[in-house]
Structure 1
Amino acid sequence: MKFLVFDTILNGHHSDYITCLIEYWCNNTMPGELIVVTPRGLGASLPADYTASTRLTLIELTDQELRQAQQASRISRAFAEWNLFVRYAEKIRPDHAVLMYFDLFQLGVWLGKKSPCPVSGIYFRPSFHYTSPDTAPTSFREKSVILRKKWVLKGVLTSSALTNLFCLDKSSVPAIQAMTNRVRVVPLSDPVKRYDVTAAEVKALRMSLGVEDHRTVFLLFGYLDDRKGIEPMLDAIRCLPEEESARLTLVLAGPITEAYQKTVEDHLSSMNSSAQIVRYFKEIKGTAIQLLFEMSDFVLTLYQKHVGMSSIMVRAALSQKPLISSDFGYMGSLVKAEKLGMTVNSESAESISRALRQALRGEITYSTAAMQKLAEQNTSLTFAQQIFGTITPDKTPSTP
């Protein structure tokens, strides 16, 4: 049997998710061949014994193919990316294919060319099931986006090619399953890999970043852009009394564009605060991620109207670090329900500032048992087993 994994994006979580599937495939006696089609660069990050395996084939999309697909408008891109998938699927003729970022392909799946094979997909951003006062749409634009998402998904679920839809936002599963009797809607764990680190390594990182011993460390991690709530966070720090800001370190860790880095630097230059702001602007992988979370006292997930789950929540739980999180959507409801920290209006500097003061005073309560449970439920092994177990339920190895 042939299984195709297809993704036109390789940055951020994309390479991690695909690597997780490859690791599971290569480390278990899975039937047949796994063919992975991605932009160039994935093979260089994999162990040599994986890339040498006769049971794994890596195919790189060309720069021209990606430009043609991704430079189109949103609607045209859905068809362009789907057509690209269909072209490769017709060459490879897999028994099943997994679209790693299903959201992009929906119109193509529904109204585009016929797929030569059954398809499953990972759906990242459902939001039409948000009905609480904190998350229900209020503006005309928000309401129209919700209606459009629901209308498109209903159409997609009629596609004869689609067999399974995996959802990282587990709360969306009942609402989506109610739309279809044919497609199986499956809750999916976030694939977060734990790395063993020592106290000495954590101390060395703290020293290398120049973090003073008396300071409480707040980590804002990931791809750093205006969605992450950096500017409201800096405004919140500016609101703190001098005595409190002198005990605070903010670590901004992750890749950032030159344009947005300038925005952040301009914001910082206008601040008059004794808080320490550590710029750690680089792509961070593997053990280095674990060290950052272990070094921190609090983890910030101050996304602006974020839809869906975030692996940063799981990373924080893995390191037993409380969150200061946006109160919006699935993330906000999960933090509240599981007592993973504190939620705030992530667009309000005043709201964030109150949370920072509570954190500095040791007044944020959280459940370490709930953190441990969340970490145990979201592992790379569980993620891979859920996907391969759904696609080939009678052939997937059980947990060792």
Structure 2
Amino acid sequence: MSFQKTVLIFEPDASGHHPGYLYHLLNHFLNGKYDFRLAVLVNPDFFEKHPAIIQKTTTENIEWLSTSGTTYNDWKNSKSDVIKRAKLEWAICAEYAKNLQANHIVMMYFDHLQLACLTEQKPPCPVSGILFRPTLVNYPVNSIKEKISFWRKYLLLKAILHRKTLNTLFCLDPFAVDFIQQNWKTKKVKFLPDPVQVYPYTKSIGSLKQTLRINENKKVFLIFGHLDDRKGISTVMDTFSKLSEDKAKDVCLLIVGPWDVQEKLLFEQKLAVLQQKNSVQVITHNHFVADEDIQSFFEVSDYILALYQKHIGMSAIMVRAASAAKPLITFNYGLMGKITAEKQLGLLIDETIQDDFQLKLEVLLNSNQPIGNQKSMKEFAELNQAKNYAKVILDSL
């Protein structure tokens, strides 16, 4: 089959959420009826780390391409310099789009490319991209540094939306999308659901608790993901260590995911202190978790902890918690705080109030009152299905 139109998809990063976002897009492209082909450009390490994704999605209308070893080394060496990295990525896209005679470029991570969009050479075709972390609304601006950062981002984003080069900016922040559409009078920005593929857990919760050795009748608090200093693990450990023994004996802290080396050392120090104070049960499962098994940890838990430190943007943890109909405990900061409040997804902690987490934790353990709105949780989870994310992007092309 011959295709009249080619769309270049560019994803240089093979780590974190990047492979998942790319796979969801390609998988739903294959299940849809689109009259164009995709050329997917990645760095060589993607072929090494994610051969299953490539195997599942290589067809007559999806072609996988790799940058050269030299280009990949240049990209790795530029990662610490945002401007240098942006220039390099912009040039790579322009070169491949020209050689492929592409009709459109989709950049899977556009946040750091905004300045390049303004200053670098115009590519041979329109460009679209995903903006993960706008900070136009719901982020307090207090210090001089924060004000400078806000206005720099504000003016830069407003400027690129007037560039003819830019076709569509997909944005994961619905409040930022509303602000832009209302105040800047442009239709170039579209809300993009955060894609989470939830695989139902079919085994019994009791059997999983036995496997994890979670004691019966415990209230289980889950921390999930890459365990680094952003996760607020130290805050959780310090707070749980202050619980009275009467409360502590009914609590289990379940920590699932790979450790950052320094964070693991800090955790072990905090654990030693906690074990001297009370009998909170702490269980770690620090192994690779297949996508099909992730949701089981949410199902087995009673509360999901997402105490990220001044987190900007969304988190798949929110969607997974909502899918399991389990309350999210997070700070009243930024997009996560705003959505949690508006959608009634759980319990908000005010980080400006000393010991607010401890006070609310005590109330939580004293009460059997349900937290959150189950109907709203379900709607939020359904909105952020991977198929909805892919449809927004693909239909715009």
What is the aligned partner in structure 2 of residue 266 from structure 1?
269
Alignment of 1:94-243 (within 5 A): 94-130=102-138, 135-178=139-182, 180-181=184-185, 184-200=188-204, 202-243=205-246
Count of aligned positions: 385
* 2:262 pairs with 1:255: no
What is the aligned partner in structure 1 of residue 9 from structure 2?
5
Q: Measure the CA separation in 1 of the matches of 2:68 and 2:214.
A: 43
Deviates more, 1:246-255 or 1:61-70: 61-70
Query: Alignment partner of 1:270: what SS?
Result: helix
1:61/1:210 CA distance change after superposition, 3 Å: farther
Deviates more, 1:319-328 or 1:307-316: 307-316
1:63/1:311 CA distance change after superposition, 3 Å: farther
Out of 325, 330, 333, the position equivalent to 1:328 is 333
Deviates more, 1:65-74 or 1:300-309: 65-74
* 2:51 pairs with 1:44: yes
Q: Which residue identity is paired with 2:134?
A: P
Tell me if structure 1 keeps the 8 A contact 2:39–2:62: yes
1:276/1:60 CA distance change after superposition, 3 Å: farther
* 2:64 pairs with 1:58: yes
* 2:99 pairs with 1:91: yes
Q: Measure the CA separation in 1 of the matches of 2:172 and 2:39.
A: 23
Query: 1:52-97: per-residue Cα shift (whole Å, max 9, x none)?
Result: x111111234554344224332222222222232233233232112
Q: Measure the CA separation in 2 of the matches of 1:346 and 1:182.
A: 35
Deviates more, 1:156-165 or 1:349-358: 349-358
What is the aligned partner in structure 1 of residue 346 from structure 2?
341
1:47/1:109 CA distance change after superposition, 3 Å: closer
Q: Which residue identity is paired with 1:274?
A: S
Query: Alignment partner of 1:71: what SS?
Result: helix
Tell me if structure 1 keeps the 8 A contact 2:241–2:273: no
1:196/1:185 CA distance change after superposition, 3 Å: same
> How far off its partner does 1:363 sit?
4.0
> How far off its partner does 1:349 sit?
7.2
Q: Which residue identity is paired with 2:144?
A: F
Query: 1:256-304: per-residue Cα shift (whole Å, max 9, x none)?
Result: 2223222222222332331122222234231211111111111111111
Query: Alignment partner of 1:159: what SS?
Result: coil
Q: Measure the CA separation in 2 of the matches of 1:371 and 1:258.
A: 34
Structure 1 unmatched ranges of 5 or more:
392-400
What is the aligned partner in structure 1 of residue 297 from structure 2?
292
What is the aligned partner in structure 2 of residue 366 from structure 1?
372
Tell me if structure 1 keeps the 8 A contact 2:54–2:64: no
Query: 1:295-322: per-residue Cα shift (whole Å, max 9, x none)?
Result: 1111111111112221211111111001
Q: Measure the CA separation in 2 of the matches of 1:374 and 1:307.
A: 19
Q: Measure the CA separation in 1 of the matches of 2:86 and 2:237.
A: 37
> How far off its partner does 1:187 sit?
0.8
Out of 375, 384, 388, the position equivalent to 1:382 is 388
Q: Give me the TM-score of the superposition, normalised by structure 1.
A: 0.90
1:199/1:54 CA distance change after superposition, 3 Å: same
Tell me if structure 1 keeps the 8 A contact 2:180–2:186: no
Q: Measure the CA separation in 2 of the matches of 1:347 and 1:86.
A: 46
Q: Measure the CA separation in 1 of the matches of 2:69 and 2:271.
A: 37
What is the aligned partner in structure 2 of residue 396 from structure 1?
none
Tell me if structure 2 keeps the 8 A contact 1:229–1:346: no
Q: Give me the TM-score of the superposition, normalised by structure 2.
A: 0.90
What is the aligned partner in structure 2 of residue 354 from structure 1?
359
Query: Alignment partner of 2:200: what SS?
Result: coil
Q: Measure the CA separation in 2 of the matches of 1:291 and 1:164.
A: 36
Q: Which residue identity is paired with 2:178?
A: P
Q: Which residue identity is paired with 2:218?
A: R
> How far off its partner does 1:341 sit?
1.0
1:90/1:346 CA distance change after superposition, 3 Å: farther
Q: Measure the CA separation in 2 of the matches of 1:66 and 1:352.
A: 44
Q: Measure the CA separation in 1 of the matches of 2:126 and 2:288.
A: 35
Q: Measure the CA separation in 2 of the matches of 1:231 and 1:316.
A: 21
Question: How large is the RMSD of aligned CA atoms in angstroms?
Answer: 2.1
Query: 1:323-352: per-residue Cα shift (whole Å, max 9, x none)?
Result: 111110121111112211110035877222
> How far off its partner does 1:358 sit?
2.8
Tell me if structure 2 keeps the 8 A contact 1:35–1:56: yes
Q: Which residue identity is paired with 2:382?
A: E
Q: Which residue identity is paired with 1:221?
A: F
Tell me if structure 1 keeps the 8 A contact 2:192–2:392: yes
Query: 1:107-147: per-residue Cα shift (whole Å, max 9, x none)?
Result: 111111221221111111111223xxxx4211112112111
> How far off its partner does 1:98 sit?
1.2
1:56/1:261 CA distance change after superposition, 3 Å: same
Tell me if structure 1 keeps the 8 A contact 2:161–2:188: no
